[in-house]
Amino acid sequence: MAASVKTALLLVDVINSFFQPGHPNYYDGVEKVLPALQSLLAAARRSGSIVVHAVELHRPVFDDFEWRKLPVHHLAGAQDAEFFREFRPEGTSETTVFKRRFSAFFATDLALFLTEQRVERVVIGGVKTNVCIRATAQDAFANGFEPVVPREATNSNRPHLAEASLEDIDRYMGRVVSLDEAIGMLS
């Protein structure tokens, strides 16, 4: 029997900005991913798997290159940057990575942290498929981790781009799997 692959759960941008109506990045239909994200988080917590909450956070007052393309958002201390409901880190197997770009790996210590924990595979869930999920999956692959994206645990307000991104992730970087398969990887 083959040795099991150490797997971590990577939740991307499960914050108020995307999930509370009226915030800058909310879109109709985003809430459809919540049951899948809750199931993944529950499975990881039951098994003691590492959970990384990767959230976008920017510095108030200081300029940020992102403002050239996007409106100011997710400032430290702002309500839109807070964790959404029950998705706050808890327990000793969970940590937070603050990112300033789409990828949870770019200019963060995530790859170093996962390497030190001997993680080989990351199950990635959150929003948006064609932006932060795709960028994170690509950088997971580039850093030597197998990215796995449960289809039900991500979506976008641009469904055609989400589908194209999932196809590219599955073809070139990692795997797109069912929620049940991903839960099995975390159990």
Give the rounded percent of residues in the chain with a pLDDT score beyond 70.
Answer: 98
The yes-or-no answer on residue 132 being catalytic is: yes
pLDDT value at position 6? 97
Other CB atoms within 10 Å distance of the CB of residue 69: 6
Provide the whole-model pTM.
Answer: 0.96
Tens digit of each residue's pLDDT (9 = 90 or more) over 108-151: 999 999 999 999 999 999 999 999 999 999 999 999 999 999 99
Average pLDDT, the chain: 95
pLDDT above 80 for 1: no
pLDDT value at position 100? 95
Neighbouring residues of 141: CB distance < 8 A, sequence distance ≥ 6: 147, 172, 173, 174
Question: What radius of gyration, in Å, describes the C-alpha atoms of the chain?
Answer: 15
Whole-angstrom distance, CA of residue 6 vs CA of residue 175: 16
- Domain 7-186 listed as CATH 3.60.70.12: no
pLDDT value at position 75? 84
Q: How sure is the predictor about 3, in pLDDT bands with cuts at 50, 70 and 90?
A: low
Q: Give me the catalytic one of 54, 114, 122, 132.
A: 132
Tens digit of each residue's pLDDT (9 = 90 or more) over 18-62: 999 999 899 999 999 999 999 999 999 999 999 999 999 999 988
Write down the domain spans for the chain.
7-186
Beta bridge partners of 136: none
